[in-house]
Amino acid sequence: MAVGAVLVFESGRGLDYDAVVERLRTRLHLIPRYRQRLASPVPGVAQPEWVDDEHFDLAWHVRHVALPPPGGDAELAAFVGSEFSRKLDRDRPLWELNVVEGLAGRRVALVPRMHHALVDGIGAIDVGTVLLDPSAEPIDIPPPEGPWEPRTYDRRRHLARLAATPFVRAQKMVLDTATRALDTSPRRAAEELRSATELMTELARNRPRAPLTPLNEPISPNRRFAMVRRSLDELKSAGKGAGGTVNDALLAVVAGMLRRYFEAAGLALEAPPVALVPVSVRREDERGELGNRISTVFVDLPIDEADPLTQLRQISETMRALKDSSAVQAGALLVGATGWAPPLVSSVLVRAMGGVRAFNLVVSNVPGPQQPFYLGGSRMLEVFPIVPLNPVNQRLSVGIVSYDGGVFFGLLADRDLDPQVEVGAKALQAALDELVEAAAAA
């Protein structure tokens, strides 16, 4: 249940291992949860609690690795699959950051890995967020009040200090709801999420069961990963040309991917595969309000339709009907966070509905910032999301992030998935090519 990403940067001295560790050292006071571990006062009886890690060692959490030649997508994806096959140490704070060198073109990647429970507890603030700057000139962050010492976490003091930093003010476009997310009552948020989860589970039970596919068998602890990229403008044009949205176009290419994937598996489905998709259901009159109103819907993907534009139109009609349905509105969550909110919401629902088989895979699309971000003066070029699998029976997840004019797909799969995830990545690339070419010719 680890959430993560692959952040790819131009080369630069700010990406040296020691420089990354030092950057974190000067900014880690902004996210005190990253120095805390889980403790169980009475194992099996009392709920675990977050406590300061008296033996916290920043260098232990920041790893330094080099890819083998030629340092392309295949080598980077193989490293990510290996990393996400390994459990985080439950006796330490539940995060790690890999500084990955050896990429082609002298690029450097950062691969943060955070347990779902850790990210849930702090909203949109994570290691990647703290490292990045909105310009090539690093933001001057006021140092902590004194050397860090293990102590009881004072949430109010942290919120007040965080809200006053230039870091939060300068990154307002991305993090405008982060402090509000931290300021939300955990008990209230848990109650809202539980209510929505119960409703979605009931809706899932009342749906026809999703078809049984190779994607829905028990999983192993091991993972594979694949990455695909495309221009955002191309997908915007395709969606708009068919009377839909970018999200509709993304679902259409996932449908095209699955059509090719199941053909490669020699499988003919009796019913369309179903995707669990987080969607925004904010009304026009709610614009400007705090938080994101997100619901999770079940979308039948029309893989029998070979024409990509017809496929896209069918999905657009389906999504419009779903967004207007009373069930989806009732299941909406008010999520006071940007960034990873949709994957987090979906993974909670995925676990709750593990035995229902209402869907075949999760497709999580996160609209990201369209201006570049930097680390130590080096520009971030790409960001590929890593969305966790359902431990019961979900062997593939598709994470999608738009950033700085690009759309980046991260496919996480069980290592034993047959055909392997690389077949799915090639099928996704073919589906993207087909849709963009069809839209340009229309």
What does the DSSP assignment read for 351-405? Answer: HHTTTT---SEEEEEEE--SS--EETTEEEEEEEEEPPPPTTT--EEEEEEEETT
pLDDT tens column, 194-209? 655 666 666 666 667 8
Q: For residue range 74-83, what is the model confidence (pLDDT) as tens digits? A: 999 999 999 9
CB 100 within 8 A of CB 2: no
161 and 223 share one domain:
no
User: Is there a single domain that holds both residue 157 and residue 276?
Assistant: no
Give the separation between CA 399 and CA 442, rounded to whole angstroms. 28
**Domain closes at, from 116, 147, 174:** 174
> Mean of the pLDDT values across residues 121-129?
55
Q: Chain-wide mean pLDDT for the chain? A: 80
Percent of the chain surpassing pLDDT 70? 72
Task: Name the residue type at position 98.
Answer: N
In the predicted structure, residue 322 carries a pLDDT above the cut 80: no
Catalytically active residues are: 116
Give the per-residue pLDDT at 208.
73
Q: Which residue has the tokens 């596919």?
A: 213
pLDDT band at 186 (very low <50, low <70, confident <90, very high): very low
Q: Which residues pair with 409 in a beta bridge?
A: 228, 400
Structural domain for 330, as ranges = 188-368+385-441
Provide DSSP, 18-56.
HHHHHHHHHHGGG-GGGGEEEE-SSTTTSPPEEEE-TT-
Statement to judge: residues 13 and 67 lie in one domain: yes
Are 361 and 276 within 8 A, CB to CB?
A: yes
d(CA 283, CA 263): 39
Q: CA dist 135 to 132, 156, 287, 375, 379, Å?
A: 9, 30, 28, 9, 9
Q: Does residue 264 carry a pLDDT above 80? A: yes
pLDDT tens profile 282-300: 554 544 443 445 567 789 9
Among 143, 174, 205, the domain boundary falls at: 174
Whether 411 is in a domain gets the answer yes
Backbone angles phi, psi at 166, to 5 degrees: -60, -30
Instruction: Note if the pTM is more than 0.85.
Output: no
In a domain, 198, yes or no: yes
In a domain, 373, yes or no: no
Chain-centre distance for alpha carbon 245: 20
Name which of 125-129, 153-157, 354-358, 368-372 the model is least confident about: 153-157
Residue 408 has pLDDT above 70, yes or no: yes
pLDDT digits (tens, 9 = 90+) for 43-76: 555 567 778 998 999 999 999 999 999 999 999 9
Asked whether residue 182 is domain-assigned, the answer is no
Specify whether the CB–CB gap between 301 and 255 falls below 8 A. yes
Lowest mean pLDDT among 144-158, 286-300, 389-403: 286-300
DSSP H or E stretch at residue 311: helix 308-324
Is residue 140 a part of any domain in this protein? yes
Q: Give the mean pLDDT of 208-217.
A: 87
Same domain, 309 and 432: yes
Q: How far, CA to CA in Å, does 286 sit from each of 199, 281, 328? A: 23, 10, 16
**202 and 161 in one domain?**
no
Say whether both 139 and 197 belong to one domain. Answer: no
CB atoms within 10 A of CB 44: 5
Say if residue 171's pLDDT is above 50.
no
Indicate the residue type of 351.
Answer: R
Examine the domain organization and report whether 107 and 253 are in the same domain.
no
The answer on 96 and 204 residing in a single domain is no
Q: Which residues pair with 314 in a beta bridge?
A: none
The number of folded domains in the chain is 2
Same domain, 345 and 437: yes
Task: Name 400's bridge partners.
Answer: 365, 409
Give Cα separations from 229 to 196, 235, 363, 386 (angstroms): 33, 11, 15, 14
Q: Please work out, in degrees rounded to the nearest 5, the angle formed at the alpha carbon of residue 401 by the alpha carbons of 399 and 405.
A: 150
* pLDDT computed for residue 374 by the predictor: 95
Separation CA 106–CA 13 (nearest Å): 12
Q: In angstroms, rounded to a whole number, what is the distance separating the alpha carbons of residues 314 and 249?
A: 11
Which residues face 101 on adjacent strands?
66
Q: Which CATH number goes with the domain that contains 55?
A: 3.30.559.10
Residue 126 and residue 341 in contact, taking contact as beta carbons nearer than 8 Å:
no
pLDDT given for residue 334 in this prediction = 45
Percent of the chain with pLDDT over 90: 49
Cα three-residue angle 178-179-181, rounded to 5 degrees: 65
CB-CB neighbours of 194 under 10 Å: 12
CA distances to 180, 247, 263 from 130, rounded to whole Å, are 17, 28, 43
Reference 356, options 212, 214, 204, 213; nearest CA is 204
pLDDT per residue as tens digits for the range 332-384 = 554 443 333 444 455 555 555 555 677 899 898 877 888 999 999 999 999 99
Domain membership of residue 374 (yes or no) is no
Q: Tell me if 83 is assigned to some domain.
A: yes
Residue 306 lies in a domain: yes
Strands 95-101 and 62-66, bridge-based pairing: parallel
Highest mean pLDDT among 128-137, 317-326, 336-345, 346-355: 128-137
> Do 318 and 286 fall into the same domain?
yes
204: Cα within 13 Å, side-chain hemisphere: 26
Query: Do 206 and 89 reside in the same domain of the chain?
Result: no
Of 174, 197, 232, the residue that ends a domain is: 174
CATH number of the domain within which 278 lies: 3.30.559.30
Residue 213 shares a structural domain with residue 155: no
